[in-house]
Structure 1
């Protein structure tokens, strides 16, 4: 009998796949100068490390969960009828290629509208169910199950308790590939810079969301990403008691790559601060 989509079997498959990919990344990290690097578009790079790590993930997931579709950053793929894995084998490629030890493997399971993750109630809309973000440099494994909880190396995590933007430390990402929304993004960044305790930009969206889920950041926003950048992090933040939404409130989760997230106390204030310029 096929297990429910929210079962430990699917989570364990994603964790196993993330560790397999990370082992490949860390092996290549020791010999970065030997990597074959291609440019997909300006400021958007892919290396053989990305591709090999992605193949390792897909091999594990196809063997362990043959009933689930797969969409991956480098190789594409096909969505499943009930659920789809959404994979970023190396989030933070520029950091990785520059020797900056801040990047991660990101894997999420998206259940589609009409599916029954718990075996009973059908979903009204597509919903990220399982999130795994693994930071191999810090050996930090973030995991989450929708509606159940989020964990860091097996210990329960929750979003911060910061109540106001004035006391908040936020994360963001600057336009780096698509600059068409620069005029909308920059005023919000300037407002955040003046109205918060500080804004950080470290260059790996999955870790920005994971760090929001565990309370290191109080909130995060970015535009111009891809679904695999934010899928797993969406599960983490929501399962840790926070809010993670499409910045334009058009999609049920930030699959368009425009994301705003925060703890439950200041998510609305952050949404208003950023949204007034869109």
Structure 2
């Protein structure tokens, strides 16, 4: 027997045994520890949704036994003349929360980044984020109501629009409420974009500047692609926020006048908790959930395709 073979056998005999069992035991213990929390979250999330789906197929007024109604609530929803208005207003909110809070936050973050005193320039946009949506709606309702602060200011300065009913004219009421929501929500998007800019290595920016990149070229070819993952998160949050907008609309107009500023969330609340038709309200909630899921899936799929194309073309190098 050669010396090398003998050495290998001795080394194998004295080698430490593989420790699969402790590792498996550790994994089992980890799963056992987190399973109660996972089960609790699953129960709190999925059971109410499944119950809402069931209620949407019934006539249920909150008391007694739900009476099976099949697709009656959904047919009623499709035939509802207010549906077109609520869908239009919801679409306006989605577009508005994408273009204004996200676009302005990105612009402010880029313009104030690496600028002396930039944190003080960003502070006025960050402070409103500490205010709740209810307080925002109350403050802007005082400004925009008939003969409110804005009308009084325009009349004092003899400017046009002093007699405009900002909250009583559609779709102007939806537009001014989107502006009010923008004032409150721009801060969180600005904060996220600043974090994204700070995560870009300085060496990358300096190398691009040495190669002659500056201004729009530097932003479009270096900064924006490297912020793509964070931008996907910000846009996804804005999509969800636009679809579920409720507090600002309910406090400022309650969907009026004549349900002209109503969104799908307002319709769901009005029919379920004001009118007491839980079956129809649950149908609206299911519709809103399906729309939110479809929009999110389409957006995530588009982002995944853009990322693959970006990697194939070598943009990430």
**TM-score under structure 1 length normalisation:** 0.27
- Which fold has the larger relative contact order, with Cα–Cα distance below 8 Å and residues 6 or more apart in sequence? 2
Task: Looking at secondary structure, tell me which structure has more strand per residue.
Answer: 1
Decide which structure has the larger Cα Rg and report it: 2
Task: Looking at secondary structure, tell me which structure has more helix per residue.
Answer: 2
